[in-house]
Structure 1
Amino acid sequence: MKEDKAPSSPSLNDRIAQRVRDLRASCGLSLDALAVHCGVSRSMISLIERGESSPTAVVLEKLATGLGVPLAALFEATEPAASPVSRLADQPQWRDPHSGYVRRNVSPPGAVSPIQIVEVSFPPKARVAYETGAREPRIHQQVWVLEGRIEVTVGDVLHRLDAGDCLAMALDHPMSYHNPTRKTARYAVVITTAAASWR
């Protein structure tokens, strides 16, 4: 029986660079237009697209909002997955240079699916605030705490979440994540762009 093996992949900065270039092109936006649209300077976007910058999660979220995609989309592979299985060793990890949080894209890269799964390791006392805005089509996500405790503020509403708790939200308000404890928290984020059809 033939076993699937993942091909070697470019660095994560190169992947982010390619994704931003491709998404900007698909939106028909110039560097200047995207800069105005998302509030990130033209020079910073240019550095990111050349793979010459290590942007923070906050900057990447602004870009994602301007491009109408979830943050996780900026870490996706440009080519469809060769296999429907995403092996732990092959799942790309990225560390936010500001807060130190580590995110891991769990879903198979480039899979044709409306669902994305991300796992986050959130350091003690860390805080990240996103100026998230509405996207079209509407994007929904759920945050499921696996270990520890986090505080998620959506708009003006604070949610205190312990291990096992799950929060559902739409990506259409500013939000922030905070780990108020002295221990690393771990949580999963499930994201979908498909409207729920069940009732």
Structure 2
Amino acid sequence: MRSKNDVETRLAGRLAELRVEHGWALDELAERTGVSRSTLSRLERAEISPTAALLNKLCAVYGRTMSRLLAEVESEPPQLVRAERQSLWRDEAAGFTRRSVSPPHPGLRGELVEGVLLAGGGVSYDEPPVPGLEQHIWVLDGALEISAGGATHELRAGDCLRFRLWGASRFYCPGPGPVRYALMIVLP
């Protein structure tokens, strides 16, 4: 299993590369994302760990899904990904764990992610990383509230919600225990 610091260091480096590839100074990226210049600088130097919401803002300006960004810091993605080799990322403050079950590939449009939110935990996104992104969310254990497209959906174990994401969204675990769900992402 890869160390947390190794993945975060490579992620920080990739974020800096993306900014340079776009020809943006830190000030311009700060303006585009609404994130302070100092936070972006510390993030690119791997001095801080990004939250899910912060990564989503960066993915939105770079036109990538979070899974694609995380896959870019991995070596060449294999077709078979054993459980112990799947990329795991945590946002401790939000009570959120994200596992890239099937890493994205440039030639494919879909990917599978496992999400776990602790009771009372939630993740909010201001916008989708790619407008029109199709999501299929299948709750495996627990309960999940999803707000998207002006509606809130309450899902229980076995329920599946499908939608295209055009605006803000929120994933929330009302409890009493954690929720575990599968998220299928399909690029438009």
Give the Cα separation in 1 of the matches to 2:13 and 2:165. 24
Q: Contact 2:104–2:111 at 8 Å: present in 1 too?
A: no
Between 1:16-25 and 1:116-125, the stretch displaced more is 16-25
Structure 1's unaligned 5+ residue stretches are 1-5
Q: Secondary structure at the match of 1:53?
A: coil
Q: Among residues 76, 79, 83, which one is paired with 1:80 in the alignment?
A: 76
Q: Contact 1:15–1:75 at 8 Å: present in 2 too?
A: no
Q: Secondary structure at the match of 1:44?
A: helix
Say how many residue pairs are matched.
187
Give the Cα separation in 2 of the matches to 1:31 and 1:117. 32
Between 1:66-75 and 1:176-185, the stretch displaced more is 66-75
Residue number in structure 1 paired with 2:102: 107
Q: Contact 2:103–2:112 at 8 Å: present in 1 too?
A: no
Identity between Structure 1 and Structure 2 (%): 35
Structure 2's unaligned 5+ residue stretches are none
Q: Among residues 154, 159, 162, which one is paired with 1:160 in the alignment?
A: 154
Q: What value does the CA root-mean-square deviation take over the aligned residues?
A: 2.5
1:130 aligns with 2:94: no
Give the Cα separation in 2 of the matches to 1:7 and 1:126. 26
Q: Contact 1:134–1:173 at 8 Å: present in 2 too?
A: no
Give the Cα separation in 2 of the matches to 1:192 and 1:25. 28
Residue number in structure 2 paired with 1:89: 84
Between 1:169-178 and 1:85-94, the stretch displaced more is 169-178
1:58 aligns with 2:53: yes
1:33 aligns with 2:33: no
Q: Among residues 98, 112, 118, which one is paired with 1:117 in the alignment?
A: 112
Q: Contact 1:84–1:111 at 8 Å: present in 2 too?
A: no
Higher strand share: 2
Q: Among residues 18, 25, 42, which one is paired with 1:23 in the alignment?
A: 18
The one-letter code sitting in structure 1 at the alignment partner of 2:71 is: E
1:79-115 Cα offsets, whole Å, 9 max, x none, are 422x311111111211102112111111147564222
Question: Shift of the alpha carbon at 1:45?
Answer: 1.3
Q: Among residues 144, 148, 151, which one is paired with 2:142 in the alignment?
A: 148
Q: Contact 1:121–1:186 at 8 Å: present in 2 too?
A: yes
TM-score normalized with structure 2 length: 0.87
Question: Shift of the alpha carbon at 1:42?
Answer: 1.5
TM-score normalized with structure 1 length: 0.82
Question: Shift of the alpha carbon at 1:119?
Answer: 0.6
Q: Contact 1:86–1:109 at 8 Å: present in 2 too?
A: no
Q: Among residues 164, 169, 184, which one is paired with 1:170 in the alignment?
A: 164
Q: Secondary structure at the match of 1:69?
A: coil
Q: Contact 2:143–2:179 at 8 Å: present in 1 too?
A: yes
